Structure 1
Amino acid sequence: MVNSVGKPKVKDSFQYLYVSIGTQFSWYLPDLTTHKLDFISSRDFDSNIQYVWAHPQKKIIYLALSDGGPGKKGSYHSILACSIDRNTGEPSILGPKLRVPYRPIHLSTDERGENLFTAYNNPSSLSVHKIEANGNIGDTRIQLSRDQAGIFGHQVRITPDEKTAILVCRGYDSTDTTSEQPGCLKIFDLTDGELRDTKTISPFGGLGFGARHLDFHPSGHCFYLALERQSELHTFKIAEEGISDNPIFIASTLSKPLQSGVRQANSAVHVHPSGKFVYVSNRTYPAAPTNGRAIPNGEDNIAVFKINEISYEPSLIQSADTLGSLPRTFSIHNSGKMLVAANSEAARKINFNGKVTSLPLSLVCYEIEENGKLALKQQINFQDKDQLLFWAGFL
């Protein structure tokens, strides 16, 4: 299962930064000298854009679309392929939207770009579609039943050797009326687009294991898993015999003790192309309904970890404020020189000085310095937007 090469794959360093706000899909040109973005254009896809993934070999992207969203199932869900004009960044629809049964929350491909994997959260499920020679989405190969797909599927990733599919399932916290529902990693052997359920990784029965997203180290020897409900980063070993049943390292993604009245939840995780650093976004929610009051002060930031080159253990070296609310997604440019965080919701929040501040949706651009730390370079605010900035990424 370990990457036999053990080195990062060389990728085309030229990328645009794409952003979804509701049904609008916009793109920007990054300047790797100033580490800033210039707006180019946008188009409307008529459905809320949930996630986007690039074909590994073709100038094609795949969009997950739904009229649903957080806490809302919706009734119209689809996936769509678009070609990208590398001269302008403009996406062009390849074929009609392909209807899917539930809200698609994440999608990805295998390294050869032969199959498209889509994760669904409510109900939890996973589908596999064949990718045609022209990059368009073909027939459904697999749609997992509910009993095969854990609770609240949030991401699906394929290991670098293309032998294993991992469905990351978040579970649910307990409430006043319900018990905690466990999270897990559903592990499937992958052969020619076919899945075989091999095992479920659920330390302590999945309780206290709110798995959300993972990313692989470029060596192929491990992956880093963000636990949303615990604000932790878990390191899992990948060996010839498979993925370890328990994490080899556990680290908090927070820089200070939990504040009164605050619920913290981390979100996205990305490993730097060099393999020397790993980044995780932290988000602040009120612990109880605010009834119009401002959100208490907490950590809305990007946690920066340095990775030990021998053991792969991550150590927190910085917590970079995103100057906004709920950085749900962020992305690292292929060059490794720039990171952009997306503050997903407008909010009224109490700042570190105890004052209430109105925070719009925003993109925040950082230079990634040689030591992996982030230096703020630009903030782009969307003052009049009342939708969610649900995804942003370099493609």
Structure 2
Amino acid sequence: MSDTTTRGVSRRGFGLLAGAGAAAALTRGDAQATVALTRADAQAAPTPAPARRRAYLGTYTTQPGGGTGIGLAAYRPRSGELASTGVLPGVSNPSFLALSPDRRTLYAVDERARGAVTAVRVGQAGPPEVLGESRGTGGADPCHLSVHPGGRFLLTANYTGGSVCVHPIGRGGVLGEASDVVQHTGSGPDPARQEGPHAHMVVSDPGGRYVLAVDLGTDSVHTYRLDPRTGRLHERARAAMKPGAGPRHLAFHPSGSYAYVVNELDSTIAVCAYDRRAGTLTPGAPLPTLPPGTEPTERNYPAAVVISPGGRFLYVSNRGHNSIATFVVECGGAAVRLVSVTPSGGSYPRHIVLDPSGTLLFAANQKSGTVTVFRPDRATGRPDPVGAAFAAPIPVCVLPV
């Protein structure tokens, strides 16, 4: 109802009645008619639907049943309902996606033996558009990337290559040739998965001072300093995780004083104290991501870890057990406690992520070809499913914006 109407009578009309001395003479029937009119107007007035927001889906294009490029979708923040809006073809194996700080450019890995990264313009009214040429990452099978907080460099982890790559970002988000490729060395006790280094994630710390690379193959987390003039990485520290744990991803507490490292090979998560000035991690004792006594029908491989915006809850995806573990964060971030384990609504939840508001949790179930959406309970943190599962070809990454 507009501000020029008061309970069914316009301000102008009400003023005329008052000027004639008739306002006090409104009969009970007149008043009832006014209320009825107001209700009728309220029922007739259309309720504006909440605006849909964009989402991007990563997949494998070289596997049977995979997609043909980056999936384009939209979701409703109120209901969590996802709907397909098309595909951006021509981007191979975009298994992980990241957005620039200004949200105008999307970056995708090309997870193949000759690894590459691609830039896509998305911050415009028209359809997404590939920017310039894809750039080689100097290593095989890039599986994760992130944009440095300053927006001038793209950081990529080469899984099979066991290395970390840096690309300068030019005007309009276009990628330049790699400015540095740092090769990790070493191995771990698991001969099948740790025969050599396997960089699985590279991300900047909350202050943007250091870059941390998580290596599954060597059970270590490397800390680098990025030179803003040359785009080169200089190692400052290295944290040793539990042998055979297989660290995969990490998430920082909003305070920046703690990081949570999820371990793929032994189904654990470790709380690490983080020295923001020195960039050093001090790992604590690992905790299981599954309830005591759990016996999955297949081996479990935790994949992603995400923390709520306020730092109250931590979520981990369990592939194999097909669940999402919820931890409550305690002692200002220094401790976590498992409080619930919720079915992921599909098979093999490789990637989970919160939307920018922190009110919706998305899970990309790789083997079942579905994306499920949850609404975490504000009091307990437990994710409650909303709506039906969204079908997608081999979804391995989902990026709501």
TM over 0.5: yes
In structure 2, distance between residues paired with 1:183 and 1:231: 14
Counterpart of 1:105 in structure 2 is 143
Instruction: Give unpaired runs (5+ residues) of structure 2.
Output: 1-50, 62-68, 188-195
Counterpart of 1:218 in structure 2 is 254
Is 1:167 matched up with 2:213? yes
Counterpart of 1:365 in structure 2 is 373
The secondary structure found in structure 2 opposite 1:389 is: coil
Higher RCO (C-alpha 8 Å, min separation 6): 1
Contact 1:58 1:135 in 2 (8 A): no
> Which shifted more, 52-61 or 27-36?
27-36
The secondary structure found in structure 2 opposite 1:379 is: coil
Mapping of residues 28-39 of structure 1, within 5 Å: 28-39=73-84
More helix by share: 2
Mapping of residues 12-31 of structure 1, within 5 Å: 15-23=53-61, 24-31=69-76
The secondary structure found in structure 2 opposite 1:122 is: coil
1:21 Cα deviation after fit: 3.0
1:229 Cα deviation after fit: 0.7
Q: 1:257 aligns with which of 280, 293, 315?
A: 293
Q: 1:266 aligns with which of 302, 310, 316?
A: 302
1:153 Cα deviation after fit: 0.6
Structure 1 segments (4+ residues) deviating >6 Å: none
% identical aligned pairs = 23
In structure 2, distance between residues paired with 1:240 and 1:134: 31
Contact 2:273 2:334 in 1 (8 A): no
The secondary structure found in structure 2 opposite 1:378 is: coil
The secondary structure found in structure 1 opposite 2:262 is: strand
Contact 2:52 2:74 in 1 (8 A): no
In structure 2, distance between residues paired with 1:44 and 1:240: 41
Instruction: Give unpaired runs (5+ residues) of structure 1.
Output: 1-12, 69-73, 172-181, 285-298, 346-359
More strand by share: 1
The secondary structure found in structure 2 opposite 1:134 is: helix
Aligned AA for 2:395?
A: L
1:324 Cα deviation after fit: 1.7
Any idea what the Cα deviations from partners look like across 1:175-231, whole Å, max 9, x if unmatched?
xxxxxxx4111121233133211222114xx51331000111111111111111111
In structure 2, distance between residues paired with 1:51 and 1:390: 7
Contact 2:210 2:279 in 1 (8 A): no
Aligned AA for 1:239?
A: D
Contact 1:367 1:375 in 2 (8 A): yes
Q: 1:324 aligns with which of 327, 335, 346?
A: 346
Mapping of residues 55-74 of structure 1, within 5 Å: 55-66=100-111, 68=112, 74=113
Larger Rg: 2
In structure 1, distance between residues paired with 2:129 and 2:186: 35
TM-score, scaled to structure 1 = 0.78
In structure 1, distance between residues paired with 2:52 and 2:212: 29
Q: Decide whether aligned partners of structure 1 residues 146 and 317 sit closer, same or farther in structure 2, where only a CA change above 3 A counts.
A: closer
Aligned AA for 1:361?
A: G
Mapping of residues 265-284 of structure 1, within 5 Å: 265-284=301-320
Aligned AA for 1:278?
A: L
In structure 2, distance between residues paired with 1:36 and 1:184: 39
Counterpart of 2:384 in structure 1 is 375
Contact 1:267 1:281 in 2 (8 A): yes
TM-score, scaled to structure 2 = 0.77
Contact 1:61 1:82 in 2 (8 A): yes
Q: 2:396 aligns with which of 386, 390, 393?
A: 390
1:46 Cα deviation after fit: 4.6
In structure 2, distance between residues paired with 1:60 and 1:311: 32
The number of residues matched between the two structures is 332
